[in-house]
């Protein structure tokens, strides 16, 4: 899982990537990509990683039901390292770095032009939406998540 060499501000720490095209509508009053857009980039990275692990997060909802389990964020810590400005492409690296019984630690880095702009740590909880409670992460799902973290999402980081 996590080793001493893991650093979320270094692209080589990630294999799973998602790509976001920066939009003019993402800007705040001073021309930075705003914190809401950053939150969306991070969420897309986490959701796409969970989906790559085989989690069918949205198909049950689209069919009028709810999945047996899903993921909820219990805690999110975001560090804004450097500003992000329009236009451009943001790449979000996502990786599970630790498992608990019902939760996992997801670390992320957002990069623009090869430079780290944001790092984030989320505590994601495996959640039963019908019972409205956390549930243990199965060994199978742990393995699938670790495997997903080693595969490319939108492709390898271009930096």
- Indicate which CATH number applies to the domain containing 136: 3.10.129.10
- pLDDT value of position 42: 98
CB atoms within 10 A of CB 90: 21
Confirm whether 115 is domain-assigned.
yes
Confirm whether 3 is domain-assigned.
no
Give the integer Cα–Cα distance in Å for 6 and 152.
Answer: 17
**Could you give the angle at the alpha carbon of 96 between the alpha carbons of 120 and 89, nearest 5°?**
50
- pLDDT value of position 66: 57
Cβ atoms of residues 33 and 82 within 8 Å = no
Confirm whether 95 is domain-assigned.
yes
Give the integer Cα–Cα distance in Å for 44 and 51.
Answer: 10
Q: Strand 70-80 and strand 89-99: pairing?
A: unpaired
Q: How many domains, the chain?
A: 1
Confirm whether 67 is domain-assigned.
yes
pLDDT digits (tens, 9 = 90+) for 74-99: 999 999 999 999 999 999 999 999 99
| Residue from 47, 33, 32 nearest 122 by CA | 47
Confirm whether 5 is domain-assigned.
no
Give the pLDDT of the chain (159 residues) as one tens digit per residue: 545 567 999 999 999 999 999 999 999 999 999 999 999 999 999 999 999 988 776 665 556 555 678 899 999 999 999 999 999 999 999 999 999 999 999 999 999 999 999 999 999 999 988 899 999 999 999 999 999 998 877 777 776
Confirm whether 26 is domain-assigned.
yes
- pLDDT value of position 63: 60
Confirm whether 89 is domain-assigned.
yes
**Domain extent at residue 138:** 11-149
Cβ atoms of residues 122 and 105 within 8 Å = yes
Confirm whether 157 is domain-assigned.
no
């Amino acid at each position: 899982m996590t080793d001493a060499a893991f650093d979320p501000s270094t692209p080589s720490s990630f294999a799973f990537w998602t790509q976001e095209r920066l939009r003019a509508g993402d800007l705040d009053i001073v021309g930075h990509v705003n914190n809401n857009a950053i939150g969306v980039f991070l969420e897309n990275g986490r959701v796409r990683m969970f989906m790559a692990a085989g989690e069918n997060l949205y198909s049950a909802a689209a069919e009028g039901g709810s999945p047996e389990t899903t993921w909820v964020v219990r805690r999110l810590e975001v560090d804004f390292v450097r500003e992000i400005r329009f236009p451009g492409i943001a790449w979000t690296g996502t990786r599970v770095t630790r498992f608990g019984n019902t939760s996992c630690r997801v670390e992320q880095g957002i990069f623009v032009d090869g430079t780290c702009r944001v790092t984030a740590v989320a505590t994601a909880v495996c959640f039963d939406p019908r019972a409205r409670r956390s549930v243990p992460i199965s060994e199978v799902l742990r393995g699938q998540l670790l495997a997903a973290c080693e595969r490319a999402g939108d492709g390898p980081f271009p930096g």
